Structure 1
Amino acid sequence: MRLILTLVAALLAAGTASAERLTLERLYADPALSGPGVRALKVSPDGARVTFLRARQDDQYQMDLWEYNMKDKTTRRLVDSKVLVPVENLSDAEKALRERARTAALKGIISYSWSPDGKQLLVPIAGNLYLVDLSKPDSARLVASGSVIDPKISPKGKYVSFVRDQNLFVIDLATGKERQLTTDGKGTVHNGEAEFVAQEEMHQFTGYYWAPDDSAIAFRWYDEAQVPVARRFEIYADRTDVVEQRYPAAGDKNAIVGLKIVSPSGGEIRDVDLGANKDIYLVRADWSKDAKSLFFQRQSRDQKTLELVAVDAATLAQRPVLTETSKTWTTISDDLRFLEGGKGFIWSSERTGRNHLYLYGMDGKLKHPISKGEWGFDDVLAVDEKAGKVFVSSNKDAVYDKQVYELKLDGSTADKPKRITQADGWHDAAFSKHGEVFVDTWSDPANPPQVAIRRPDGSLVSWLDENKVNESHPYFKYKPDLLPVEFGSMKAKDGQTLYYSMIKPYKFDASKKYPVYLSTYGGPHSQHVTRRWDGGQFDQYMAQQGYVVFRLDNRGSSRRERVFTDAIYRNLGKVEVEDQLTGIDWLGAQPYVDAKRIGVYGWSYGGFMTLRLLSQGSDKIAAGVSGAPVTDWGLYDTHYTEQFMDRPSDNPDGYKQSNVFYHVDGLKSKLLLIHGMADDNVLFTNTTKMIDALVNRGVQFELMTYPGAKHGVSNRLAKRHVQTYIDAFFRKNLHPESN
């Protein structure tokens, strides 16, 4: 049975200004259509403030640091990024880190951290490091400079730490003295940093970990000398740089990784034994509450085994704690939480086919499940030991939603979590340290993000940014034409449920037939069909141009059960294409769809999907836009590719059938290829190989490349140009009616 849930756009009150249609120029102009927006929300350690980054009114990509005072309910800007650093000059290391963290488009203050007493903030900007006293924020103190990355205040507040020139440093805040803790960082050797695949695929944006009592720092050491060099050209408008990047493609050797411990006062650096097999992934490291034990997570090269190992900080003696195994791949998580007084730890596992929480003793013996049943959670948000509660996010009640739920630590509510957030849609939550309050950022397709401070029962404390679309809001004059988003479901070939979203065209007339703009991603670790605000509003724009706008999450997409995600194992693209074609067949059967005017767009994995869909479904798809596509999985990095495909030597037929070139003879539709000419993630070689394959087959196509652009094409003018080109391409090939 097909479930249809229609979200009707909210009507504005009578007497509002006349509506205006969206334009591509307005999508990328200031101020942002979503409103001021906030990011990096944090509750201060003393619970007195909520801090956040907010874009400037005149530049939606320039971030300043703000605070909301919980006592007097006032909001003020703490640090003006342009006053602190008028002109930014970023190091190559900082640029690379931002590219991995998907913040390359942002300027100003990108991150910050609290001191443990809640009186100071550590603010990095453009390679410099400032300490901001809350009592006099206008007098920010420069504490370090010179290409500083990954700065932190130690847990007890005695030190500031950071990485510079591939070595680890600390500053004693009592004396102001800077100390270099490692000295061998140079060339291919790095200290306190995460290697490329750890940043890109394991979400490890830090490479060192403070003991909770400030007594020691555990840090990653790696040497990438054995990683093959990908010699590539970064083509800019006025120059060409030859870059020799250590890039481990599928089947290649990875960096050799180590884990070490050092005192912040310097002295001996001690090596933690990661095992005889050096061809492993160090995926996480954490300290116990009493700082007596360091725990690390070790994943096998084939990613079918994940081990948690405890190390005695004094003697370095080790003991295995627990092991997860899978016939496909084990999933890395950030859900390890240690309880006070050695009472145990919380651990997440997908061993039942759903992601659930478990309570273990420090000896590694399972006490009981904290959650169970036919649902799964996304993340652990907070643990309130005093109240015996764990707060998690989940899509338990609607696959395309995100809500906050409460579970009991004792397992008594394992199969019946209590829902805390109530409004349907998408809730991103940032809790205080022990769960006393949380900041709730909510949106749905009709409402841009609204930020509220709430108690752990979900009740409202105060609005931080209600962001109502009233006369002063940037979206006010466009909202009358905001089109409703419909959500529904259909069945895959194996009977599993696939969810979709759809926007019908402006001034929809059921007696007419419309072209389709199908947007896809299709890859693992991502969900494309979500009930939240579309910050870019490009889907709304395309619907206003006369398209049926459609998305479908195929098998392999995230936030589902393992039988759904595991379907892609060892043959990327097979079931994903099957499911998208199921969606296209369903669209073609709708009386208001012109089945001869269906177009597909995708970027990155979505670019790969577009090429595979055109190659296998040109009889059903008139045109496609493929942005930054992976065309040959042998060219993509080890951790991501081998997770789903194994090594090329172990699965040669799977690699052959997964690559675009195996199917490309079937590509007959109109095609636009797009790629940034300095992409260090999906290398430009993927597209040059595709160009060669198409030329050799006599296939005509369009090509647009962007000088200096990385994987995300983050430059605002370039992004607008991309969307303008896509709009023109589909307009030319699908001929939407002008409304």
Structure 2
Amino acid sequence: MIFLRPVLRLATGAAPRHQALPVARREALRKPILATALALGTCLAAPLAAQSVTNKQETAPMELTFERVFASPSLDGPAPRKAKLSPDGRYLTLLRNRAEDKERYDLWAYDRETMAWSMLVDSEKLGSGRELSEDEKMQRERARVGNLKGIIDYQWTSDGKGILVPLDGDLILARLDGEIVRLTDTEESELNPGVSDTGRYVSFVRDRQLWVGEIGKDAAPVTPKEGEDIRWGEAEFVAQEEMARLSGYWWSPDDKRLVVERFDESMVGVVTRAAIGAMGTKVYEQRYPVAGSANAVVELYVMDPDGQNRVKVDLGENTDIYLARVDWSPDGEALYVQRQNREQTVLDMLKVDPATGKTSVLFTEHAAMKDYWINLSDNYKWLADRSLLWWSERDGYGHLYLFRKGKWTQLTKGEWVVTDLVGIDQKKGLAFFRGTKDSVLAPQIYSIPLTGGKPARLTDPAFSNAASMDKNGQTLLVTRSNDDTPPQSFLADQNGQRIAWIEENALDASHPYAPYLASHRPVQYGTIPAADGTPLHWEMVTPEMAPGKRYPVYFYHYGGPGPQIVSKAWDGALRQAIVDGGYIWFALDNRGSANRGVRFEQPIYRAMGGVEVADQKAGGEYLKTLPFVDPDKIAIDGWSYGGYMTLKMLEADPGLYAAGISGAPVTKWELYDTHYTERYMGTPEKDGAAYAKSSALADAVKITDPLLVIHGMADDNVVFENATAVIAEMQAANVPFEMMLYPGYTHRVAGEKISPHRYNTVFRFLEAHGVTPPE
């Protein structure tokens, strides 16, 4: 599921642990990093942001419109992405968006010797302008970067002399002396490009085959072409969409071998997806495994870089499994494969002999409790001595464990969770992680010895923090924000002490948000009890209120498993624009959402659309007790799972809410994919009663409150059939509703013009139904 909320929380850095967005893996940062960062000093931030921090500006309020919220430059300030240091530590590279086009990124580098910034790759100048292939468009959607333009990723070569840059479906090698080598120039897109660990080879997927070639030489396919339904070197649909696994091949550390995925999706059902556009319709026959149906059959092969000496990995007799993760041991002598059962209650760690493909089970992870599932994670690391730092929910909370010589040692514990493994310094025996030990609303970065002990907090609790590290765990790249501070990023040492700003993003007079600071409103936080007494966190922002007057509420919700909505991180300008319009912003995290432990998530097991609806109802009833809230003007809005929640909330409690907006809703779980849906709901065949109860279709005719349905007409995630199903039910029963469709748009209905249109539509709808601020 994507589009978790209308405002991206840029400051949090990493996605929730079982959301489909994977934790980015940073390039190697070697010993010179400390000297490099010290040499950079505050000069790092100079081309990107002013140096002084000013939290309040004495300026007259300006009207914050939806048009300005989504225009360039971004009101969040500059948003550098994928900051990395070169292998020799001389250069800091990052992707920087343009002031005139906040969604277009170019590759920039800072040279510590000359102390100068330069643009290494101009995405407009060097781009071909070719339209991306449908496969690449869909991969970008699943990687949650479908809205970005220009350069979205890059990779340093191991010698530090060049950078592999995918651009407009082709591959470019950018040399630091300014030379640009175009590695490919084809009409087809080169998918999943990569440089092998030693930097000798470039690899990519083209036309369902894996291609490999030495840098500077022509690449050639190293796997056979076997028809439309068999692909090599790619991750299958559910791996990309739901398992946070976007890769389908993995190089050994010495480049002598690579392991490649082959999947056959001929048995997967076909969904005829009509991508309805403004000037025509394209019809796609898409392999889409709906709940209870057949998945693709996945195989693994180990081979030489030229495709020879191919060996099949023994994944077991049962082919109805999920290939969760694949890793080489640091010495390249073994492979480790995580195999998850179809029910997602058992995860086997397989040790593979790459010479023969034979496997053995190293250990097995089981669901933490009955009627629960296993949340996949990237929070693990194989160490040089073949021990493993591992994340598990086995004690009821997500914590770190060390597996060494067949024995387990729990490193972190308590009624809080580790959300991300940030890095490891194996020489010093230190692990760095992000967690909620001090606050579930403002995660912090910590270190802990691999021998165990008390975690040491490294970041400022006044901010919500995220971080990544270099390969050797020497230096932190910290990203932080809070309700009054947009995202900032800096380099820090192992103790969390700042070495140099990467982007200070100071809220001074030159900041894009400065004209709107005068009306910036504080955020209030609190809790209310669920039916079982569990505290539920909420956040609220109120406009300037006149005594004795009551105000309407824009009640945002997501509600589904995974995302945490309530946070003390910067929430961008959209929320403030809504408050500037005279509405109270309100959001609440119900049971079933992330970062509160197993028992907090478990109640949605075989019961989607139940406890979440009840918890959000508690939020609505709480709002009605507040003297400044107009109890007859509480409007609910949600997207994706949140769109589903809008329907279920209106069906369950007619009259409680003044109106509802349902964006891209799942309306029938039989229409959604296997890995996501079956994790919580089982299969329609075995758990039919649960599916029937969770459906938003059967009770749609009971909706009596004003409803606006919004959907992209080319949605490949929550397919458009979900919307047509519910509107057909309501039409057949003569139940009124309103609808706004977006031709050509997928699940991501967003853009500089489309986003304002969407939100203007929402608030015109509310105005038409009397959900308006007081006179």
TM range (shorter): over 0.9
How many Å apart are 1:424 and its aligned residue?
2.3
Separation of aligned partners in 1, 2:226 and 2:620 = 53
Secondary structure in structure 2 of the residue aligned to 1:200: helix
Secondary structure in structure 1 of the residue aligned to 2:697: helix
How many Å apart are 1:71 and its aligned residue?
5.8
How many Å apart are 1:594 and its aligned residue?
1.1
Please tell me the root mean square deviation across aligned C-alpha atoms, in Å. Answer: 1.6
Separation of aligned partners in 1, 2:624 and 2:524 = 17
Separation of aligned partners in 2, 1:374 and 1:595 = 36
How many Å apart are 1:734 and its aligned residue?
3.9
Separation of aligned partners in 1, 2:476 and 2:180 = 28
The answer to whether the Cα contact below 8 Å between 2:661 and 2:707 also exists between their aligned partners in 1 is yes
How many Å apart are 1:737 and its aligned residue?
2.6
**469, 472, 483: which one aligns with 2:507:** 469
Matched, 1:511 2:548: yes
Paired residues for 1:7-406 under 5 Å: 16-69=58-111, 74-85=116-127, 87-134=129-176, 136-137=177-178, 139-146=179-186, 147-173=189-215, 176-326=217-367, 327=370, 328-342=372-386, 344-361=387-404, 365-406=406-447
Q: Deviations over 1:590-610 (max 9, x none)?
A: 111111111000000000000
Q: Deviations over 1:621-665 (max 9, x none)?
A: 010100000000010000000000001111111000101123324
Could you tell me the TM-score, scaled by structure 2's length? 0.90
**2:522 maps to which residue?**
484
**511, 535, 539: which one aligns with 1:497:** 535
Separation of aligned partners in 1, 2:546 and 2:287 = 55
Q: Deviations over 1:63-99 (max 9, x none)?
A: 1112234566543322111111152421111101101
How many Å apart are 1:11 and its aligned residue?
7.6
Secondary structure in structure 2 of the residue aligned to 1:683: coil
Separation of aligned partners in 2, 1:731 and 1:124 = 46
For 1:100, give the aligned amino acid: R
Q: Deviations over 1:562-606 (max 9, x none)?
A: 000111000101000000000111111111111111100000000
**2:9 maps to which residue?**
none
The answer to whether the Cα contact below 8 Å between 2:311 and 2:356 also exists between their aligned partners in 1 is no
Specify whether residues 720 and 86 from structure 1 end up closer, same or farther in structure 2 by C-alpha distance, changes over 3 A only.
Answer: farther
Q: Deviations over 1:377-405 (max 9, x none)?
A: 01111010111100111122111112111
Secondary structure in structure 2 of the residue aligned to 1:606: helix
For 1:93, give the aligned amino acid: D
Secondary structure in structure 2 of the residue aligned to 1:478: helix
Separation of aligned partners in 2, 1:485 and 1:552 = 13
The answer to whether the Cα contact below 8 Å between 2:72 and 2:99 also exists between their aligned partners in 1 is yes
**494, 504, 522: which one aligns with 2:559:** 522
**695, 703, 710: which one aligns with 2:746:** 710
Higher mean C-alpha deviation, range 250-259 or range 143-152: 143-152
Specify whether residues 12 and 422 from structure 1 end up closer, same or farther in structure 2 by C-alpha distance, changes over 3 A only.
Answer: closer
Secondary structure in structure 1 of the residue aligned to 2:745: coil
How many Å apart are 1:730 and its aligned residue?
1.8
Separation of aligned partners in 1, 2:56 and 2:772 = 31
Separation of aligned partners in 2, 1:332 and 1:93 = 25
For 1:346, give the aligned amino acid: L
For 1:573, give the aligned amino acid: G
The answer to whether the Cα contact below 8 Å between 1:709 and 1:715 also exists between their aligned partners in 2 is no
Matched, 1:538 2:574: yes
For 2:459, give the aligned amino acid: T
Secondary structure in structure 2 of the residue aligned to 1:252: coil
Higher relative contact order (CA 8 A, sep 6+): 2
The answer to whether the Cα contact below 8 Å between 1:104 and 1:714 also exists between their aligned partners in 2 is no
In structure 2, the gaps of 5 or more residues are 1-52
Secondary structure in structure 1 of the residue aligned to 2:416: coil
**419, 422, 433: which one aligns with 2:460:** 422
Secondary structure in structure 1 of the residue aligned to 2:224: coil
Instruction: Tell me how many residue pairs correspond in the alignment.
Output: 718
Secondary structure in structure 2 of the residue aligned to 1:371: coil
For 1:22, give the aligned amino acid: L
Matched, 1:647 2:687: no
In structure 1, the gaps of 5 or more residues are 1-9
**601, 620, 632: which one aligns with 1:596:** 632
For 2:578, give the aligned amino acid: M
Separation of aligned partners in 1, 2:169 and 2:224 = 20
Separation of aligned partners in 2, 1:428 and 1:265 = 40
Higher mean C-alpha deviation, range 223-232 or range 421-430: 421-430
Separation of aligned partners in 2, 1:85 and 1:120 = 18
For 1:143, give the aligned amino acid: L
Specify whether residues 453 and 734 from structure 1 end up closer, same or farther in structure 2 by C-alpha distance, changes over 3 A only.
Answer: farther
Separation of aligned partners in 1, 2:80 and 2:230 = 37
Specify whether residues 72 and 590 from structure 1 end up closer, same or farther in structure 2 by C-alpha distance, changes over 3 A only.
Answer: farther
Using the aligned pairs only, state the percent identity: 41
The answer to whether the Cα contact below 8 Å between 1:353 and 1:563 also exists between their aligned partners in 2 is yes
Matched, 1:701 2:740: no
Higher mean C-alpha deviation, range 496-505 or range 175-184: 175-184
How many Å apart are 1:13 and its aligned residue?
5.7
Could you tell me the TM-score, scaled by structure 1's length? 0.95
Secondary structure in structure 2 of the residue aligned to 1:231: strand
How many Å apart are 1:119 and its aligned residue?
2.5
**2:693 maps to which residue?**
657
Q: Deviations over 1:231-290 (max 9, x none)?
A: 121110111112111011000100111111111133132111111111110011000011
Matched, 1:691 2:730: no
How many Å apart are 1:220 and its aligned residue?
1.1
Separation of aligned partners in 2, 1:650 and 1:145 = 50
Specify whether residues 131 and 291 from structure 1 end up closer, same or farther in structure 2 by C-alpha distance, changes over 3 A only.
Answer: same
The answer to whether the Cα contact below 8 Å between 2:302 and 2:357 also exists between their aligned partners in 1 is no
Separation of aligned partners in 1, 2:540 and 2:660 = 18
The answer to whether the Cα contact below 8 Å between 2:667 and 2:726 also exists between their aligned partners in 1 is yes
Specify whether residues 72 and 404 from structure 1 end up closer, same or farther in structure 2 by C-alpha distance, changes over 3 A only.
Answer: farther
